[in-house]
Amino acid sequence: MTVDGLKLKWQNFWGWWARHCSPALLATLLAAVIAGVLLFVPPFHGLADNGDFYRAQFVNGLYHLKGYSMLDFVTPKLGIMQYYNDTTAAVFSSQPLFVKLAILLNQAVYSKTVFDLRFMGLVYYLPYLGSIYLLTTAMTAPYRKLRSYLIALLIVFVFADSSFTLYFNSFFAEPGMLILMLYAFAALMLVARRPDWHPRVLTVVYFVSIMLLIANKQQNAPLALSYAVTSIGLFFIFKKRAQWLWILGGIAGILVTGVLTYTLITQQFNDINQYQAFTHGVLLHTDDPSKKIAQRGVDEQYALMRNQDYYPKNFAAINPSAKSVKRGLNDRTGFGWIMGYYLHHYPQFHTLLDVAAGDMMITQVKAVGDYQQASGKPAGAQVTYFTGFSNLAGAFFPQKFSFDILLTIALLVVFGIGAYNDLVHKRVANVVRFFLVMGLLTVFIFVPIISIIGDGDADLAKHLFMVPVSLDLILVMFVADLLNHRLWHSDGNIEEDEA
């Protein structure tokens, strides 16, 4: 066969492929297979209980069956309470929406007395696939060129990573946060780039996703300010006064959700976080902690609690929940005290921020196992299946907070140029993109700071979950826009290009 014949066959095949399989469909199918094998094929995988699952289990009518494992193995089955459940919610969260739906599905098609963990995974899995489709569409539409499919593969490589999807078969709040963020990000970019795609509906999807995300976990309350920034770009799309009122209402809803999520944090959780901010923050990375805290009006004896959890696993020198600790420590070391301490000891605070930078891109939970006991794997064994991106990011991302600041400045400059060019040419897509990136970069920079001040380095990788998600989205958009030649300026009159 001649070269011209091979070229013609390739063109015919590519034309058929592009007509029948969009980049978004390809990404969705690949993610469905990769995540489906991990989550549903026996012996399926997930994340073992780290001790926090009770908050989502008991209040929703689930209880532990004989043989329930903590930390080491994933427990595939739980019991469904058949009597009145007087357990009250330990925290305010939107997570029960997902858990209750999973229980309803389980009771409808499997059992009314035994809960299969895969129904929890299914409740996350289906909307997750929708978010992958929407995100890929936002990054590639309207093109179906070779580069569009490369972008689809990149999205799968990043967001189908098992370090993310393992969360689905668990009672952690993180999977809801991931999925809602993907929907919000994709919806906002589609409003900017495809004004023919029901912009009002997508705007509602954006605001609802953000509000549910903030309410998903108490630590997300400060993110309301970041997502208020990401919303500013909508003012450049909807220019009528009535439309501005709707956008202001959406931003107000975000801020109110943040305030409610913060104010509804229980006193017990405040005590836990405040205690660990002291023992896992103030007392770390310093040669003489007793002297330093004494200078700030705290008894030197509390320096003995360095690295101690509020619920210690071993012998503790001091009982964290004792009334004397509340009077002598918690009542004296609030948020303002800790802020003042770090202002006077900035090198110590900077060291803690470097610790956070080191944990920033480690998305796989290392403290718990990913296998069931029936798998024959050792206790606490970790999945290595499709973890290429998380391994690369965790190994090679610089572990210095100063680098994070420089990266933030560089990204703001790059995306700022694109926004300026669009403003000059009276376009809006890259202006919306700039405010979206700016908001996500505030998450990238300020969440580590808030986490260190609010809870020290205790459970740091989990507290930083939205940081890698935000940075990964910026990375994917940077590469996609570079390949689609719209990094510096958005498309003018977009024409469908299916070839």
Would the pLDDT of 133 be above 90? Answer: yes
Element (H, E) at 116: strand 114-116
Tell me how far apart the alpha carbons of residues 248 and 256 are, in angstroms, rounded to a whole number: 12
Q: Which residues contact 319 (CB under 8 A, 6 or more apart)?
A: 325
pLDDT tens, 54-103? 888 888 888 888 888 888 899 999 999 887 776 666 667 788 889 999 99
pLDDT tens, 205-218? 999 999 999 999 88
pLDDT number for residue 4: 67
Q: Write the DSSP assignment of 193-251 as a string of letters.
A: H-TTS-HHHHHHHHHHHHHHHHHT-GGGTTHHHHHHHHGGGHHHH--SHHHHHHHHHHH
Of residues 354, 366, 351, 358, the one with CA closest to residue 283: 351
Q: Which amino acid appears at position 336 of this protein?
A: G
Quick check: 264 and 217 in contact, CB under 8 A? Answer: no
Query: What confidence tier does 314 reach under pLDDT thresholds 50, 70, 90?
Result: low
- Going by the DSSP 8-state scheme, the letter that residue 141 receives in this structure is T
Would the pLDDT of 37 be above 90? Answer: yes
Residue with tokens 């000059």: 424
Q: What is the average pLDDT score of the chain? A: 87
Tell me how far apart the alpha carbons of residues 413 and 230 are, in angstroms, rounded to a whole number: 17
Q: What is the mean pLDDT of residues 45-59?
A: 86
pLDDT tens, 225-258? 999 999 999 999 998 888 899 999 999 999 999 9
Which of 125-134, 194-203, 299-308, 327-336 ranks highest by mean pLDDT?
A: 125-134
